[in-house]
Amino acid sequence: MSQTYTSIKQMRRRLLFIGGGLFILLLLAWLSFGLVEKGGSEETASLLLSAASADDWKLGGENAKAVLVEYSDFQCPACASYEPLLQALHEELGDSMLFVYRHFPLRQIHANAENAARAAEAAGKQGKFWEMHSVLFERQKEWSDDRDAEGTFVSYAGALGLDTARFVNDFHSQGVKENVQRDYESGVRAGISGTPTFYLNGRKIQNPRSYDEFKNAINEALAAANQ
């Protein structure tokens, strides 16, 4: 009985030792994985937010030293309020700034945001992304609560001189849906939770309260880049 009891105790000790060792190994592996994932996410976010890709919608100079990235929702009233400021900045700064627009439809609170993003993408297939972009913001109140927003977007496409049959086909295409989702997922990876969110040369900035504040931030970024 004594030998059996001793053997059981020894076995328990061995199991505890092995179990403890495995726990430590698993903990170290988890920590290492977490660090790698975190580092990779930060690096990815930095690349996403400091440079424009070939798939982005862009205005301004491709080689500009000030890159302003906006994650935006066409149904967001705050985004609409920034649209005139961004347009004025582009007109004044020209090729010294590159403006990048990315979709971040807040689907849970804005029922038509996804479709609005797809409407802009579909218009972009016919070379009218920025024209549709402007119309969607200018007439936001008209379509935000529209139960037939798609029909309204088709009417905008017609007014812009687009081939409406092609527009409808592109609006429903998998490629257009993927373009919107690609932007949205890049925003999620960057930790974005609301719109508009602005990044200037890869650094998130507080939403400027005026045109002058916005312009000063960009000029400071240009000055820093030229040092």
- Torsion angles phi and psi, residue 115, rounded to 5: -65, -35
pLDDT for 49 equals 57
Q: Which residue has the tokens 């975190």?
A: 38
Q: Name the residue with higher pLDDT: 194 or 15.
A: 194
d(CA 195, CA 89): 19
Check pLDDT > 50 for residue 9: no
Mean pLDDT of 95-102: 96
pLDDT of the residue at 98: 96
Neighbouring residues of 215: CB distance < 8 A, sequence distance ≥ 6 = 89, 92, 93
Residue 7 — pLDDT band, cuts 50, 70, 90?
A: very low
Q: What is the mean pLDDT of residues 55-79?
A: 96
Q: What is the pLDDT of residues 16-49, one digit of tens each?
A: 444 444 333 333 333 323 322 233 344 444 445 5
132-141 residue pLDDT tens: 999 999 999 9
Percent of the chain with pLDDT strictly greater than 70: 78
Confidence band (pLDDT; 50, 70, 90) for 52?
confident
Nearest Cα to Cα of residue 69 among 185, 224, 218, 211: 218
pLDDT average, residue stretch 67-78: 98
Average pLDDT over residues 155-183: 98
Give the pLDDT of residue 53.
Answer: 80
pLDDT given at position 50: 54
Which uninterrupted H or E stretch holds 67?
strand 66-72
On average, the pLDDT of the chain sits at 84
Q: Residue 80 pLDDT > 60, yes or no? A: yes
> Using CA atoms, how far apart are residues 40 and 43, in angstroms rounded to an integer?
5
Residue 88 makes CB contacts below 8 A (sequence gap 6+) with 211
Q: How confident is the model at residue 8 (pLDDT cuts 50, 70, 90)?
A: very low
Is residue 89 pLDDT above 50, yes or no? yes
Decide if pLDDT at 77 tops 60: yes
Task: Over range 153-165, report the average pLDDT.
Answer: 98
CB 112, CB 149: distance < 8 Å: yes
